[in-house]
Structure 1
Amino acid sequence: MEILPQEEADRFRRAYCGLCHTLGERYGPAARMILNYDFTYLAILLSDPEEAAPCRRRCVSSPVRLRAYQPATAALELAADESVILAYWQLRDGVEDHGLWKGLGYRVSAAALRGGYRKAAAARPGFDGRVREQLAALSRLEGECCPSMDQAADTFAQLLAAAAAGVEDPVRRRVLEQMLYHLGRWVYLIDAADDLQKDAVSGNYNPVALRYGLRDGKWDEESRRAFARTLDHSIHMIATAFELWDFGVWRPLLESTVYTGLFAVGRAVLEGTFHKMPPREQRKKHKKAEETT
Structure 2
Amino acid sequence: MFGYIRPLRDELKVREYEHYKACYCGLCRALKEQGTPFSSFILSYDFTFLAMLLYDTQDAPSVRPVRCGANPLKRRRACLTFPALALCADYSIILTWWKLRDTVTDEGFFRSLRDRFLSILLKRAYNKAAARRPAYVGHVKSALKALSRLEQEESPSLDACADQFARLTAALAEDAPEHRRRPLEQLLYHVGRFIYIIDAADDLAEDHKARRRNVVAARYGLTGGALTDAARDALESTLLHSCRLAAAAYELLDPGHFAPVLQNILYLGMPHTCRAVLSGTWRSGKNRKNKEFEQDE
Q: Shared fold by TM > 0.5?
A: yes
Deviation of 1:287 (Å) = 4.9
Matched, 1:13 2:10: no
Deviations 1:48-104 (A, max 9, x none): 333212122223234233322111111111111111101111111121232222211
Matched, 1:133 2:149: no
Residue identity opposite 1:117 in structure 2: Y
Contact in 2 for aligned 1:95/1:103 (Cα 8 Å): yes
Partner of 1:38: 46
Give the number of the structure whose residues are more often helix, by fraction.
1
RMSD: 2.0
Q: How does 1:84-233 map to 2 (within 5 A)?
A: 84-167=93-176, 169-233=177-241
Matched, 1:53 2:62: yes
Partner of 1:291: none
Aligned equivalents of 2:226, 2:18: Cα separation in 1 = 40
Task: Report sequence identity in percent.
Answer: 43
Matching residue within 92, 99, 103 for 1:83: 92
Matched, 1:69 2:87: no
Mark the runs of 5 or more structure 1 residues left unpaired by the alignment: 289-293
In the superposition, relative to structure 1, how do residues 286 and 3 fare at CA in structure 2: closer, same or farther (>3 Å)? Answer: farther
Contact in 1 for aligned 2:28/2:43 (Cα 8 Å): yes
Aligned equivalents of 2:105, 2:122: Cα separation in 1 = 17
In the superposition, relative to structure 1, how do residues 197 and 60 fare at CA in structure 2: closer, same or farther (>3 Å)? Answer: closer
Matched, 1:253 2:261: yes
Deviation of 1:285 (Å) = 11
Deviates more, 1:46-55 or 1:118-127: 46-55
Deviation of 1:136 (Å) = 1.1
Aligned equivalents of 1:202, 1:108: Cα separation in 2 = 21
Deviations 1:212-268 (A, max 9, x none): 222223333333222211111101100100111123221111111111111111111
Matched, 1:265 2:273: yes
Deviation of 1:284 (Å) = 7.9
In the superposition, relative to structure 1, how do residues 286 and 193 fare at CA in structure 2: closer, same or farther (>3 Å)? Answer: farther
Aligned equivalents of 1:15, 1:85: Cα separation in 2 = 20
For residue 57 of structure 1, give the secondary structure of its aligned residue in structure 2: strand
For residue 257 of structure 2, give the secondary structure of its aligned residue in structure 1: helix
Contact in 2 for aligned 1:78/1:166 (Cα 8 Å): no
Aligned equivalents of 2:227, 2:96: Cα separation in 1 = 31
For residue 109 of structure 2, give the secondary structure of its aligned residue in structure 1: coil
Partner of 1:234: 242
Residue identity opposite 1:115 in structure 2: R
Aligned equivalents of 2:209, 2:289: Cα separation in 1 = 28
Contact in 2 for aligned 1:91/1:110 (Cα 8 Å): yes
Residue identity opposite 1:17 in structure 2: C
Q: TM-score, normalised by structure 1?
A: 0.91
Deviates more, 1:255-264 or 1:207-216: 207-216
Mark the runs of 5 or more structure 2 residues left unpaired by the alignment: 1-7
In the superposition, relative to structure 1, how do residues 246 and 218 fare at CA in structure 2: closer, same or farther (>3 Å)? Answer: same
Contact in 2 for aligned 1:22/1:76 (Cα 8 Å): yes
Higher RCO (CA 8 Å, separation ≥ 6 residues): 2
Deviations 1:139-165 (A, max 9, x none): 111111111110000000001111111
